Structure 1
Amino acid sequence: MRVGLIARDPGHPVLAAAAELLVRRGCRVEVVEPGGCGDSPADVYLLKARTPQALSLARELEQRGAVVVNSAAATELCQDRVRMAELALGAGLPFASTVAAGRLAELADPGRPFVVKSRHSRRHDLVALVDGPARLRELVERWPEEEVVTQPYVPGSGWDQKLWVVDGQLFAARRRSELSSGDGGSADAGEWEPPAGLAALALRVGEVFGLQVYGVDLLDGAAEPVIVDVNAFPGVRGRPGAPEALAGLVLRVAAERGRAGLPLG
């Protein structure tokens, strides 16, 4: 069986560990570059990269009958925070109100704290708390042309709740919020077992978005948890069992493909 990795960094710890597990099971794992998928597509592809070139390649492979996890359409949807919020709210998920605000340089200060984010989710994008005109001016100097969205500021403990799902298996952590003024911006708060309600919510996100490998960022709202972001194929770093879950997903998808009468490599 052949497995293709569409990834900017195939050496990413979780991806590399899953690939090693698949090789031990007799799979042939190969990194696929745009334009290099060959005449015979692999049996399953893992779409970790989210660049335009990677999405174009994934769509081409899907058109040729290949199975891509996550699909190009689901991955692309999670890059647009406006579309993300519209889908989530339309499905009844407790997603933060997300408003398209145009270019950051055109954004007016509403006179109360709010969160500003890049409209298009990507590595090293803009995510910041604006707590006054001075902070907004500072961000405009750095990101004047950035297309942004705004979300209400939800005061909290300074810790984000991060839930990751790989083929229905849940992994979780509490991490220092990017918006926190404290030190240790990405520090891990240690082991955390999410309550059953949050676990069910995370699984529901996957159903709504058509994702098999994804992350959900939550904050404690006044009445209920608030989803502030959904990420297609996040890193899931440092979570025991994540590589095994990812390798298991590949094997399950391939087995289902075989049962459907589609050729396996």
Structure 2
Amino acid sequence: MRICFVTDRPDHPLLADARTLLTPRHEVTVLDPDGDLDSAPVAADVYLLKARTPKALAFAARAERRGARVLNSASATRACQDRVRMAEIAWAAGLPFPATHAFGSPARLLATGPAYPLMVKSRHSRRHDLVARVDDIDALRATAGEWPDEPIVAQEFVDNGGWDHKLWVVDGHVFAGLRRTALDGPAETKPIAAEDLPPGWAALARRVGAAFGLAVYGVDILEVEGRPSIIDVNAFPGMRGMTGAPTALAELAVRAGESTGPRSRAGVRTNDSMRTGRPR
């Protein structure tokens, strides 16, 4: 079976470890999302879409049309990049998600005279986007000055004691950790067992996958008055330090390829059913 990682970080621990598991029995390649994807052939049976650039998403959509399996799909990945769309999907599925209001810029939010504190985020999720707690009008004015043309969303701020619950899911397998919120300094993740999560949280994380059409994803959850509130959904996060995640990812890639039927180089389907070696 031919499996391709679409990523600019093939040395990332999650991907490197999964590739090590797959390589003995499968042909594993890497596709650079910054390369010439317009002319790149669709040569793999399964693509693991770790990149989220427009070029990578366009290639993923083309691969899907050619019959390859893409994890996660281009459409599901795009939905997680738009925080308004994210909220709409969550609400439609009955998932607990905070009230989210969209504005064309921080100045437009400023004109409404909002209540403080609040969270202000870039509408379009990406590396180094805007995610900030805004405590008063002066802070919002400063944000408007730094991000004058940035489309944003505003959400009620909820104090989480400086820690976020991070849940990661790979094909239904739930991994979890506590991470220092980005507002409070450098990220530090403390792994916790899924069974040590509050009751129902693992099941809630799996519901997110069904609602968004995701197989590999992350869910950020805050506890608000004893109940969970989903504040973010990420397609194909890194999951550093999560024991068992690379194996789960490798097994998912193999099962995805088997479900579509691997193809030979000439495009003829074969009966290759090699596995990663881990019994289920």
* TM superposition score normalised by structure 1: 0.92
- In structure 2, the residue matched to 1:157 is 161
Shift of 1:35: 2.4
Shift of 1:190: 4.8
Contact kept, 8 Å, 1:47 with 1:68, in 2: the verdict is yes
Distance in 1 (CA, whole Å) between partners of 2:146 and 2:171 is 39
RMSD over aligned Cα atoms: 1.9
TM-superposition CA deviations, 1:201-252 (whole Å, max 9, x none): 0000001100000000011112511000100001111111111111110011
Distance in 2 (CA, whole Å) between partners of 1:162 and 1:188 is 9
Q: Residues 1-265 of structure 1 correspond to what in structure 2 (within 5 A)?
A: 1-31=1-31, 33=35, 34-38=37-41, 41-108=43-110, 109-180=113-184, 184-192=185-193, 193-258=196-261, 263-264=269-270
**Secondary structure class of the residue paired with 2:58:** helix
Structure 2 letter corresponding to 1:5? F
Distance in 2 (CA, whole Å) between partners of 1:105 and 1:185 is 29
Shift of 1:258: 2.5
TM-superposition CA deviations, 1:91-142 (whole Å, max 9, x none): 1000111111111232214132100000001111111110012211222222
Aligned residues: 260
Shift of 1:26: 3.2
Distance in 2 (CA, whole Å) between partners of 1:107 and 1:54 is 33
Distance in 1 (CA, whole Å) between partners of 2:10 and 2:269 is 26
Shift of 1:68: 0.4
Structure 1 letter corresponding to 2:217? Y
Contact kept, 8 Å, 1:22 with 1:29, in 2: the verdict is no
| Residues 17, 189 of structure 1: alpha-carbon distance in 2 compared, 3 angstrom cutoff | closer
Structure 2 letter corresponding to 1:249? L
Structure 2 letter corresponding to 1:112? Y
Contact kept, 8 Å, 2:3 with 2:26, in 1: the verdict is no
TM-superposition CA deviations, 1:10-47 (whole Å, max 9, x none): 22221121112110223332325412432x53110011
Distance in 1 (CA, whole Å) between partners of 2:182 and 2:204 is 22
Question: Which residues of structure 2 form unaligned runs of 5+?
Answer: 263-267, 273-280
Shift of 1:257: 1.8
Distance in 2 (CA, whole Å) between partners of 1:31 and 1:156 is 39
How many percent identity over aligned positions?
52
**Secondary structure class of the residue paired with 1:29:** strand
**Secondary structure class of the residue paired with 1:24:** coil
Shift of 1:185: 3.1
TM-superposition CA deviations, 1:127-171 (whole Å, max 9, x none): 111001221122222211111001111122111000000111111
TM-superposition CA deviations, 1:166-189 (whole Å, max 9, x none): 111111111111234xxx431224
Contact kept, 8 Å, 1:214 with 1:232, in 2: the verdict is yes
Distance in 2 (CA, whole Å) between partners of 1:249 and 1:58 is 18
Distance in 2 (CA, whole Å) between partners of 1:146 and 1:41 is 38
